[in-house]
Amino acid sequence: MKIVLLEPLAIHQKKLKELSSKLIAMGHEFVAYDTVETDENLLKERVKEADILIIANHPLSGEVIRYAQNLKYISIAFTGYDHVDLEACEEKNIHVSNAQGYATEAVAELTIAMIISLLRNVIVCNEVVRKGGTKEGFVGKELFGKTVGIIGTGAIGLRTAQLLKVFGCKLLGFSRSESLRAKELGIEYVGLEELLSNSDIVSLHLPLNKKTQGLLSKEKIALMKKDALLINTARGAIVDNQALAEALNKGQIAGAGIDVFETEPPFSDHPLFHAPNTLLTPHVAFATEESMIKRANIVFDNVYSWIQGEQKNKVI
Task: Find out whether 264 and 283 touch, Cβ atoms under 8 Å.
Answer: yes
Per annotation, catalytic residue among 90, 264, 290, 310 = 264
Per annotation, catalytic residue among 46, 95, 205, 235 = 235
Is 219 a catalytic site residue?
Answer: no
Is 283 a catalytic site residue?
Answer: yes
Which residues form the catalytic set? Answer: 235, 264, 283
